[in-house]
Structure 1
Amino acid sequence: MRLFPTALLALAAAGVATPALAQSSPGSPPDAGATASTAADFDVDGDSITIGAGGVYLPDYEGSNDYRFTPAPGAIGSYDGFAFTLAGNRASVDLIPNRAGDTIDFQAGPIGVVNFNRSSIKSIDDRRVRALGELGTAIELGGFVGIGKTGVITSPYDRLSLSLSYRYDVNGVHKSGIWQPTINYFTPLSTKAAVGLFVSGEHVGDGYARSYFTVTQAQSVASGLPAYTARGGWKNYTLGAIGTYALSGDLLHGFKIVAGGTYSRLLNDFGDSPIVSVAGSRDQWLGTVGLAYTF
């Protein structure tokens, strides 16, 4: 089972909405990016932490048409202007500090993803895919750069950001790199609610394609799926929406409900692989809902 990075942004989003009333303090507005830049200065000191947990409805494996529920954590915060995010299996830190009054936010820092895709055949319903065998858990490490702009469309407090990340499997499971460009837009609706939209894509290497989407002759005999050789390239695009509502009446403090969902479409050799086209689906859906607390 792999927790798609963008899907768990809904949990992180619990802390990124800064309503208009809060801007009477000198804290800088938030960023709803897919990296640690989603964290913001929420109070006078600019330090804030939001933690949360929820349930995620996601495919059994990347490309599956069978779905299951799993719990997932989320955390987002900013300390002395340095933002960090934990969204399920993904973590990142923005090493360029945000300062009060800044409307342009330059972003750069490390990022890490733990890729559980097909690392446990017990979580896969389809017997043909189970017959392909288990893969290891990939540790993907790298970095990101980006830029955000506050006060773009709806108010002085909305945020548009663009980022590009690169990560590489450092423990030899797929031995491949992954590029991910992302565009995010986030806006407060009131002191209680905020919403965001995002779009991203992933370009992966040949090693990733061989590990997760190729069917060897031996695997074909064992599973009944046709043999297939996948090559690297643009793997998918993802569209998503996130939102949060403060139960306390104040997005800056207390409990809040957070929810979101994504649609992802597998492309090129990845969508054509029999692991997807025969045993699964090119269309991938994911939804999450959870509870978070900001302090």
Structure 2
Amino acid sequence: MTATAALVAATPALAQDGPPPSSTPASTLAADLDKDTITVAVAGAYLTDYEGSNDYRFVPAPAVQATISGYNIQVLGNRASVDLIRDRPGPVWDLQAGPIGVINFNRQNNKNIDDRRIRALGERNTAIELGGFVGIGKTGVITSDYDKLSATLSYRHDVNNAHDSDIWQPTVAYFTPLNVKTAVGLFVSAERAGGGYARSYYSIDGTQSLASGLAVYNARGGWKNWSVGLAGTYSLTGDLLHGWKAIGGVNYRRMLNDFADSPVVSVAGSRGQWLAAAGIGYTF
């Protein structure tokens, strides 16, 4: 669900950057940029059965994004984070740092997996991944004083002994308001996972091979995937900082190295996967 969270995160986050001051309504909105806002959204996401699958299903993807006294709080599907460095309004540099937590449901329930070969490999325990992130952003880069370019690096470790491993994730994102009602965002990301993650989800031992028909495989840690996504939001009532809005986006993920070469992906799944999400949110 990491990609799902990224898509749902992108669109409510755009409301925090605000619109260009090119008209009287926009100028009024500019005065609201340092005020507290909360965006609540729910989307339907179309994503793969498991990480590396070529089968798809629909899942709900709720999201809450809040800016309170300059601090950003996100609860996005299976992911939560808090930026403990206070933001300042205007075209400024923005330092970011804080805790992050992810509940990883990958292959946790065979009822959600169509491929009988993957079901035969057995279910995995739910992974609780806790860690932190650091980053830097710049508001007022290309299109106006309100677009934003940011780069972050997050680290998570499974504390539930599901895969007992680390995940590093660098992300670069660019968000820009097009007017007082519309904003778009583009992001690229990658993940590097440890050996425990590779063994838990992508290795196949002799017993599993006999049960599934997939070849024995010993996966090693390393760069797991890269992804690129596009997201947008359009205000149905009010503007980017107030009222109802439609949200949506699309993401492409490409598996890499031992993760891509595993029969879990190369035989039973696909090295490339698409994800799409669409929904509605309200900002107040």
The yes-or-no answer on 1:142 pairing with 2:131 is yes
1:45 deviates by 5.1
Residue equivalent to 1:63:
52
* TM-score, normalised by the number of residues in structure 2: 0.94
**1:220 pairs with one of 205, 209, 229:** 209
Residue equivalent to 1:35:
none
Residue equivalent to 1:83:
72
Deviation per CA, 1:64-120, whole angstroms, max 9, x where unpaired?
A: 000000111011111111111111111100000112346111000000001000000
CA distance in 2: counterparts of 1:101 and 1:9, whole angstroms: 22
Three-state SS of the structure 2 residue aligned to 1:8 is helix
Contact kept, 8 Å, 2:191 with 2:226, in 1: the verdict is yes
- Which amino acid is 1:9 matched to? A
1:149 deviates by 0.3
In structure 2, the gaps of 5 or more residues are: none
The yes-or-no answer on 1:235 pairing with 2:224 is yes
User: Against the structure 1 CA distance between its residues 209 and 242, is the aligned structure 2 distance closer, same or farther, given a 3 Å change threshold?
Assistant: same
Contact kept, 8 Å, 2:14 with 2:184, in 1: the verdict is no
Residue equivalent to 1:9:
9
CA distance in 2: counterparts of 1:26 and 1:191, whole angstroms: 8
Residue equivalent to 1:24:
27
Q: Percent of aligned pairs with the same residue?
A: 60
User: Against the structure 1 CA distance between its residues 43 and 67, is the aligned structure 2 distance closer, same or farther, given a 3 Å change threshold?
Assistant: same
Residue equivalent to 1:272:
261
Three-state SS of the structure 1 residue aligned to 2:226 is strand
**Where do residues 104-253 of structure 1 align in structure 2 (5 Å cutoff)?**
104-253=93-242
- Which amino acid is 2:52 matched to? G
Three-state SS of the structure 2 residue aligned to 1:144 is strand
| RMSD of equivalent CA atoms | 1.7
1:23 deviates by 6.2
* TM-score, normalised by the number of residues in structure 1: 0.91
1:18 deviates by 1.0
- Which amino acid is 2:12 matched to? A
Number of equivalenced pairs = 280
1:228 deviates by 0.3
Three-state SS of the structure 1 residue aligned to 2:117 is helix
Contact kept, 8 Å, 1:55 with 1:69, in 2: the verdict is yes
Deviation per CA, 1:23-50, whole angstroms, max 9, x where unpaired?
A: 63696xxxxxxxxxxxxxx826521000
